């Protein structure tokens, strides 16, 4: 089995992993920053009301019509999902 490991180390150049900055390996920081409130608002503005609802079955005109308070709560939910990297059960 050790021979197989050496084979893959040679093929995949795993022994060169040290070239990657160590801070990128040890950090808990996401590689892609979480969406900002501005980006979220912009995405809502750009929604087309002519399209059919997505997989969530929420009509786009309903999303565009909600108050700023509800948009703020939706953004908080998105950030929570983004950071935990898992969807809530409900």
Give the pLDDT of residue 39.
Answer: 92
Give the pLDDT of residue 7.
Answer: 61
d(CA 83, CA 77): 10
Q: What is the mean pLDDT of each run of 10 residues along the chain (90 residues)?
A: 58 52 55 88 82 76 86 91 84
Contact 34, 79 (CB under 8 A): yes
Domain residue ranges in the chain: 2-84
Token pair of 36, please? 């900002």
Overall pTM > 0.75: no
Give the pLDDT of residue 32.
Answer: 81
Contact 72, 27 (CB under 8 A): no
Token pair of 85, please? 């990297």
Token pair of 59, please? 């009509």
d(CA 83, CA 28): 10
Angle between helices 68-84 and 37-45 (to 10 degrees): 120
Any idea how long the chain is?
90
């Amino acid at each position: 089995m050790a021979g197989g490991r050496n084979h893959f180390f040679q093929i995949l150049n795993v022994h060169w992993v040290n070239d990657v900055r160590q801070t990128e390996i040890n950090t808990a920081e996401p590689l892609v920053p979480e969406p900002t409130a501005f980006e979220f608002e912009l995405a809502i503005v750009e929604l087309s009301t002519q399209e059919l609802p997505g997989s969530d079955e929420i009509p786009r005109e309903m999303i565009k019509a909600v108050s700023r308070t509800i948009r703020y709560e939706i953004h908080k939910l998105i950030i929570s999902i983004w950071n935990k990297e898992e969807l809530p059960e409900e």
